[in-house]
């Protein structure tokens, strides 16, 4: 850190700033505040509207309670859940297989500079769009149903997995690579001897994690017709069967929590299992044979491969998809591409306004989330929570807000607050509370208490202690969490219009429904630009505070 304020007088001290100077700093802050104020003005949030919403909510509660779990409804839900699960499984495995070559292309230490940029472009594009945007396009290309959902999730998996795997590959120890190369091993032998062992553990952990995420997504892509339980959910809203909606939402929450628990347990086992040394007894050292694995281990390995294959086959059969779709899907996607390119400029004037609305929604949603999540985190962290009751309340808020997707929040809030940007803002705010609250609470739990004690020992007050000992410890984590959430909120703000939450989503959907593909392309490019720009800004902010 450097500062331009030269110490002309020893009695004068200013805290060095990470900005160039104080003026820049305050200008930046002022700009942020002004922008937020502008957003506030544009969305026109008034206490009156929120009050109406509160009134509506008791009405809705009455309609939605008790949830409709009658036998035929149960059967419907069960069928949809199986479809959702099957989609998540196939998409995860297929997506991971596709993402391995993409990750290799995107690893600077394995390929040439030009290939690297190709790989990274693929990754960045697939990451930039919300799953629902991809879904709505894929549905048009391959028709309604789970196949569209699977393709969508596979594309998203390639972005996520490709990026993290590439980062992992770039982090490997290069001398291990060189050493194998120096023995005269071939390119692929080098990959399998020097790269694979270094990344296996993380690879497995990431796969499980991605399955968890895909499960969440496969529960909502149905909203635009891409299969899974989301389809039934939207239908229930359209038919005003709110008690059925409530049942579905409860089941989705249960499914998401279950998926999360399974994934957490599995990842933990992997990380502890690898700490020990793998030893394989040689059967007969005298005969000087050597096998990497014993018979039992070998069987176990084949067994797990067979198990995975079995799950895929079962999932595939469950979805009743012919193998033919695999052959036709690429052609159809290509066909779509030819209709989208070149993008048309006719839509530009029309799209500026909804794009700005999307941005405002993202900004206000994030501000709202931050405002709500700080107290939530304080009561959900066991070091700062006043008592057991507040602690439980904090955990409850965090869990329920996190496990319901932002789109489902929009569906509910549109009923309460009417369609429009306000519902979107509140939905994003609520969804983000859980995310920021959870991670912030963890950061608070991890702070070094001796620093707090030391500050207390100087005779500082509680508030001073918080400002001097807690805030500096939590601040980098907080900025990191908030900016990551900002990134996902920007993406979310582009799709909440699909279900009436305002922003660019409704325009995009109408263009697609009218088959105005060239217009849709223009909108997609604009979204890509905004998402990438916001990502660059937030990455810069993170780098400054880390």
Partner 1 sequence: MLETKNLEKVYQTGDRALDDVSVTLDGTEVVAMIGPSGAGKSTFIRCINRLVEPTSGDVWLDDVELTALSKPELQRERRNIGMVFQEYGLVERLTVMENVLSGRLGYVGFWQSLRRKFPPDAIEHAYETLERVGLRGYENKRVDALSGGQRQRVGIARAVLQRPKLLLVDEPTSSLDPETSHAVMELLAEIAVDTDVPVVINIHEVHLAEEFADRILGLSDGSLVFDGPPAELDEAAKTRVYQGATDSVEASRSTGESADDQLSQDELLTKNG
- Rounded Cα distance between 438 and 237, Å, is 30
Q: Specify whether the CB–CB gap between 247 and 67 falls below 8 A.
A: yes
User: Which of 9, 66, 113, 277 touches partner 1 (CB under 8 A)?
Assistant: 277
- Rounded Cα distance between 420 and 410, Å, is 10
- For residue 181, the minimal CB distance to partner 1 (Å) is 7
13: contact with partner 1 by CB under 8 A: no
User: Which of 57, 176, 390, 473 touches partner 1 (CB under 8 A)?
Assistant: 176
User: Which of 20, 29, 192, 515 touches partner 1 (CB under 8 A)?
Assistant: 192
User: Which of 8, 113, 114, 290 touches partner 1 (CB under 8 A)?
Assistant: 290
Contact stretch for partner 1 (CB under 8 A) within 49-57, 76-84, 190-198, 468-476: 190-198
- Rounded Cα distance between 306 and 321, Å, is 21
173: contact with partner 1 by CB under 8 A: yes
* DSSP-assigned letters across all residues of 204-237: HHHHHHHHHHHHHHHTTGGGGTSSSHHHHHHHHH
For residues 22 and 181, which CB has a smaller minimum distance to partner 1 in the complex? 181
- For residue 172, the minimal CB distance to partner 1 (Å) is 10
E runs forming strands in 222-356: none
Name the residue among 429, 295, 286 with its Cα closest to residue 360: 429
Q: What is the dihedral of CA 280, 285, 289, 290, to 10 degrees?
A: 20
- Rounded Cα distance between 363 and 358, Å, is 9
DSSP 8-state assignment for residue 44: T
For residues 10 and 184, which CB has a smaller minimum distance to partner 1 in the complex? 184
- Rounded Cα distance between 473 and 21, Å, is 23
180: contact with partner 1 by CB under 8 A: yes
Q: Specify whether the CB–CB gap between 493 and 358 falls below 8 A.
A: yes
- Rounded Cα distance between 440 and 384, Å, is 12
282: contact with partner 1 by CB under 8 A: yes
472: contact with partner 1 by CB under 8 A: no
Contact stretch for partner 1 (CB under 8 A) within 218-226, 278-286, 319-327, 496-504: 278-286
458: contact with partner 1 by CB under 8 A: no
User: Which of 46, 70, 109, 189 touches partner 1 (CB under 8 A)?
Assistant: 189
DSSP 8-state assignment for residue 170: H
197: contact with partner 1 by CB under 8 A: yes
Q: Radius of gyration of the chain from Cα atoms?
A: 26
DSSP 8-state assignment for residue 469: I
Contact stretch for partner 1 (CB under 8 A) within 5-13, 141-149, 286-294, 419-427: 286-294
User: Which of 22, 42, 181, 241 touches partner 1 (CB under 8 A)?
Assistant: 181
198: contact with partner 1 by CB under 8 A: yes
297: contact with partner 1 by CB under 8 A: no
For residues 101 and 322, which CB has a smaller minimum distance to partner 1 in the complex? 101
295: contact with partner 1 by CB under 8 A: no
271: contact with partner 1 by CB under 8 A: no
**For residue 103, how many other CB atoms are within 10 A of its CB?**
26
Contact stretch for partner 1 (CB under 8 A) within 55-63, 214-222, 289-297, 394-402: 289-297
273: contact with partner 1 by CB under 8 A: no
Bond prior to 256 in cis (omega within 30° of 0): no
Burial of 251 (0-12, 13-18, 19+ CB in 10 A): buried
109: contact with partner 1 by CB under 8 A: no
- Rounded Cα distance between 126 and 123, Å, is 5
278: contact with partner 1 by CB under 8 A: yes
- For residue 200, the minimal CB distance to partner 1 (Å) is 7
Site residues (vs partner 1, CB under 8 A): 173, 175-176, 178-186, 188-189, 192-194, 197-198, 200-201, 277-282, 288-293
């Amino acid at each position: 850190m450097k500062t331009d304020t030269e110490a002309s007088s020893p009695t004068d001290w200013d805290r060095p700033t990470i900005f160039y100077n104080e003026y820049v700093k305050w200008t930046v802050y002022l700009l942020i505040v002004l922008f937020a104020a502008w957003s506030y003005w544009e969305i026109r949030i008034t206490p009156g509207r929120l009050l109406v919403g509160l009134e509506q909510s008791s009405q809705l509660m009455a309609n939605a309670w008790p949830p409709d779990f009658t036998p035929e409804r149960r059967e419907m839900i069960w069928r949809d859940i199986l479809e959702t699960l099957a989609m998540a499984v196939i998409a995860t495995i297929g997506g991971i297989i596709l993402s391995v070559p993409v990750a290799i292309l995107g690893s600077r230490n394995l390929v040439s500079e030009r290939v690297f940029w190709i790989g990274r472009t693929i990754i960045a594009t697939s990451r930039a769009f919300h799953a629902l945007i991809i879904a709505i396009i894929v549905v048009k290309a391959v028709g309604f149903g789970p196949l569209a959902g699977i393709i969508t999730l596979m594309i998203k998996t390639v972005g996520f997995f490709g990026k993290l795997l590439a980062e992992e590959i770039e982090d490997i120890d290069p001398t291990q690579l060189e050493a194998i190369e120096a023995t005269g091993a071939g390119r692929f032998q080098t990959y399998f001897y020097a790269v694979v062992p270094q990344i296996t553990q993380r690879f497995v952990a990431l796969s499980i994690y991605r399955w968890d995420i895909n499960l969440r997504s496969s529960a909502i892509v149905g909203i635009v017709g891409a299969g899974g339980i989301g389809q039934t959910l939207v239908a229930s809203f359209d038919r005003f069967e709110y008690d059925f909606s409530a049942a579905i939402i409860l089941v989705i929450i249960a499914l998401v929590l279950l998926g999360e628990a399974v994934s957490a347990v599995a990842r933990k086992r992997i990380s502890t299992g690898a700490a020990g040394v793998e030893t394989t007894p040689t059967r007969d050292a005298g005969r000087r044979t050597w096998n990497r694995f014993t018979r039992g281990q070998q069987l176990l390995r084949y067994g797990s491969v067979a198990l995975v294959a079995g799950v895929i086959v079962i999932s595939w059969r469950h979805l009743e998809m012919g193998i033919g779709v695999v052959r036709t899907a690429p052609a159809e996607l290509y066909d779509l591409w030819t209709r989208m390119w070149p993008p048309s400029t006719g839509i530009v004037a029309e799209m500026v306004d909804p794009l700005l609305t999307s941005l405002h929604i993202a900004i206000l949603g994030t501000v709202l989330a931050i405002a709500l999540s700080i107290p939530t985190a304080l009561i959900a962290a066991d070091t700062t929570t006043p008592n057991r009751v507040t602690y439980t309340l904090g955990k409850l808020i965090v869990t329920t807000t996190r496990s319901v997707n932002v789109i489902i929040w929009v569906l509910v809030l549109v009923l309460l607050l009417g369609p429009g940007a306000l519902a979107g803002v509140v939905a994003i705010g609520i969804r983000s509370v859980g995310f920021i609250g959870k991670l912030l609470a963890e950061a608070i739990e991890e702070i070094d208490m001796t620093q707090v004690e030391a500050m207390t020992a100087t005779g500082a007050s509680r508030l001073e202690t918080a400002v001097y000992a807690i805030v500096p410890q939590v601040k980098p984590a907080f900025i990191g969490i908030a900016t990551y959430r900002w990134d996902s909120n920007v993406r979310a703000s582009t799709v909440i219009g699909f279900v009436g939450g305002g922003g660019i989503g409704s325009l995009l959907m109408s263009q697609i429904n009218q088959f105005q593909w060239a217009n849709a392309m223009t909108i997609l490019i604009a979204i890509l630009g905004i998402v990438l720009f916001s990502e660059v800004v937030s990455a810069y902010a993170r780098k400054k505070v880390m």
